[in-house]
Amino acid sequence: MSAFLGDSVMISNHFVRGPESWCSYDYHASMVAGKHNVFILTTWSPTGGIDDGGYVWTDHTRWSADTPEKPLSILPLLHYRSWVDADPMDLREAEMSVYLRGDDLQLDGASCHFWIHASGTRWHLNSSSLDIGDGSWPTSPNRVELTPDEGSWHNSWANDPHNPTSLPDVLSGVVSYGFSFVGFSSEVMGRLSMARLELRPSCISEI
């Protein structure tokens, strides 16, 4: 869901009516399917989230390690703007906030990060590891600033690894974003839930 604030737009996924296109990426299934990307829709619950509101969840049966990513990554939660008939977005200097919850979540050393993707290039905000509530929702959301400082991000993948799209260029026209697990010794198992994702503008605008 998008709300316009003057010339800016705020993304607000409170999951009141459904999963709002949020999926998991199953890389292994994609390879079996002849390199056709396989995305599996999250499960929506209308209650049980923050203030008993809606939320979505996924688990290890829907994700698998994305081996072209460096370092090896799992993309358990992702969203493409085109899935909701929306244009790329300028996320420079935006603030992202989100509640994350794990149930029987076995991270095996993994940390969770926000990422962005455009022009065949993905960047992970590896300077900010996100908190995941253990069996309950955290009392406050994760909040991170999306600054165009490449020292705070890591380029995990590019169609052309010798010529990745720069972070400022990706931030200025984001087509996809989501959350990753990195740093695991074996694939992360269990359930991951998400509630109240918001992208608040500093200079967020439709492009």
C-alpha 105: how far from its chain's center?
17
Residue whose entry in the numeric block shows the structure tokens 């994700």: 63
How far apart (Å, rounded) are the C-alpha atoms in residues 51 and 69?
36
Q: What is the mean pLDDT of residues 138-147?
A: 98
Residue 196 reports pLDDT greater than 80: yes
How far apart (Å, rounded) are the C-alpha atoms in residues 166 and 173?
11
Quote the pTM value.
0.93
If you average pLDDT over every residue of the chain, what do you get?
94
pLDDT score, position 6: 43
How would you class 197 by CB atoms within 10 Å of its CB: exposed for 0-12, middle for 13-18, buried for 19 or more?
buried
pLDDT 10s digits, 174-195: 999 999 999 999 999 999 999 9
Residue 5 reports pLDDT greater than 50: no
> In CATH, which of 3.20.20.140, 3.40.50.300, 3.30.559.10, 2.60.120.260 is domain 2-206?
2.60.120.260
Extents of the domains making up the chain: 2-206
